[in-house]
Amino acid sequence: MSVSTEAASHSHDVHADHPEYMRHQFDDMDQQNDAANLGMWLFLLTEVMFFGGFFLGYSIYRTEYYDSFVNGSHHLDVFLGGLNTVALITSSVTMAFAVRAAQLGKKNHIIMFLVMTLVLGVVFMVNKYLEYSHKWHDNLIPGLDFIWTEPGDPRTIQLFYAFYFCMTGTHGLHVLIGLGLIIWLVIRTQQNKFTPQYYAPIENFGLYWHFVDLVWIFLFPLLYLIGGLH
């Protein structure tokens, strides 16, 4: 087959046009940014399916053992859960502003908003720690020392708590990883790595952080607010 090889992009010898942040496998920054963006969205797609398995199991058992799940849910701390919801939503806003600051090239604002996001994420994790330690004191950790003294079927209530810990635990792990990545982004911003022409890591991390918020937006009503409160 005949193929022209003259026109398109330059040869490998000319490196002057490559900014430091442009990777060799790409022809131009548009392509690189598009690829990175699509890559992150696809990764989030895999995360949706990952959590989806949890949501499926949870939904089946909630339908089957509704009363037990209501019972178990009543022992969850709605206040802390609600506070966490507000914390994550706010952190999503600050993250959005961080990306916006990156688009405008305002380095100090980027760092400020990233740090605010980090602080809110830490608040979330501290609340999580408080909740988990309460559960430990109340003997509500399935498989370790689950003791249910009140009325209700301990077998199926333990199932509720199994899902509670698995889902919030996996979510919490994702938050922790996010916090680590924020610190890395702050360092790189401080080192002047980002410009209005190149801020893809911040933008794509933002996508990840919003996803973490999204999962919690569903977890909160499903776990904490079942069957009404009194």
Partner 1 sequence: MSTVVKKGAPEHRMPLHHFLNATYTVKSWFLTMDHKRVGLLYLFSIGFFFLIGGTFASLIRLELATPEADLMEADQYNVAFSMHGIVMIFFFLIPSIPAVFGNFIMPLMIGAKDVAFPKLNLTSWYLFIFGGSFGVLTTLLGGVDTGWTFYTPFSSTYSNTNVLLAGMAAFIAGFSSILTGLNFMVTIHKMRAPGITWFKMPLFVWGMYATSLIMVLGTPVIAITLGLMMVERGFGIGIFDPALGGDPVLFQHLFWFYSHPAVYIMILPGMGVISEVIAAFSRKRIFGYDFIAMSSVSIAVLGFFVWGHHLFVSGQSIYAGMVFSFITMLVAVPSAVKVFSWMATMHKGSVSYDAPMLYALGFIGLFSVGGLTGVFLAIMGLDIHMHDTYFVVAHFHYVMVGGAVTAFMAAIHFWWPKMTGRMYPEGWSRFAAFLIFAGFNLTFFPQFIVGYLGMPRRYHVYPEEWQLLNVMSSAGATILAAAFIVPLIYMIWSLKNGKIAGPNPWRATGLEWILSSPPPEHNFPSTPIVREEPYDYGEVIDNPVHKEEDEKV
Partner 2 sequence: MSQHAPHSENTPHIASVANYLTIFSILLVLTAVTVWVAFLELGPLNTPVAMAIASVKAIVVILYFMHLKFSPGQTKLAAAAAIFWLLILLIVTFFDYVGRTWQDNPVGW
Place of tokens 């990764």: 43
- Shortest distance, position 76 Cβ to partner 1, whole Å: 18
Contact yes or no for 213/178 (Cβ under 8 A): no
The verdict on 30 binding partner 2 (CB under 8 A) reads yes
Among 98, 162, 179, 223, binds partner 1 (CB under 8 A): 162
Q: Which of 211, 204, 165, 206 is nearest to 35 (CA)?
A: 204
Q: Which of residues 138-197 bind partner 2 (CB under 8 A)?
A: 197
| Torsion of the alpha carbons at 51, 82, 67 and 61, rounded to the nearest 10 | 0
Separation between Cα atoms, residue 96 and residue 90, nearest integer Å: 10
The verdict on 35 binding partner 1 (CB under 8 A) reads yes
Q: SS3 of 198, please? A: strand
Instruction: Kindly indicate which of the ranges 58-66, 116-124, 153-161, 182-190 contains the residues binding partner 2, using the contact rule CB under 8 A.
Output: 58-66
- Shortest distance, position 195 Cβ to partner 2, whole Å: 10
Separation between Cα atoms, residue 198 and residue 208, nearest integer Å: 18
192 torsion bin: left (phi>0), alpha (psi -120 to 50), beta (else)? left
- Shortest distance, position 92 Cβ to partner 1, whole Å: 23
- Shortest distance, position 193 Cβ to partner 2, whole Å: 15
Contact yes or no for 116/94 (Cβ under 8 A): yes
**CB closer to partner 1, 189 vs 204:** 204
Among 178, 179, 202, 213, binds partner 2 (CB under 8 A): 213
Separation between Cα atoms, residue 146 and residue 140, nearest integer Å: 5
The verdict on 16 binding partner 1 (CB under 8 A) reads no
| Tokens describing residue 222 | 């499903």
Q: SS3 of 27, please? A: coil
176 binds, among partner 2, partner 1, none (CB under 5 to 8 A by kind): none
Separation between Cα atoms, residue 67 and residue 71, nearest integer Å: 6
Separation between Cα atoms, residue 125 and residue 72, nearest integer Å: 22
Which residues are near partner 2 by CB under 8 A? 8-10, 17-19, 22, 27-31, 33-34, 37-38, 41-42, 44-45, 48-49, 52-53, 55-56, 59-60, 63-64, 78, 82, 85-86, 89-90, 92-93, 95-97, 100, 103-104, 197, 206-207, 210-211, 213-214, 217-218, 220-222, 225-230
Which residues are near partner 1 by CB under 8 A? 1-12, 24-27, 31, 34-35, 38-39, 42-43, 45-47, 49-54, 56-57, 60-61, 64-65, 142-144, 153, 155-156, 158-159, 162-163, 166
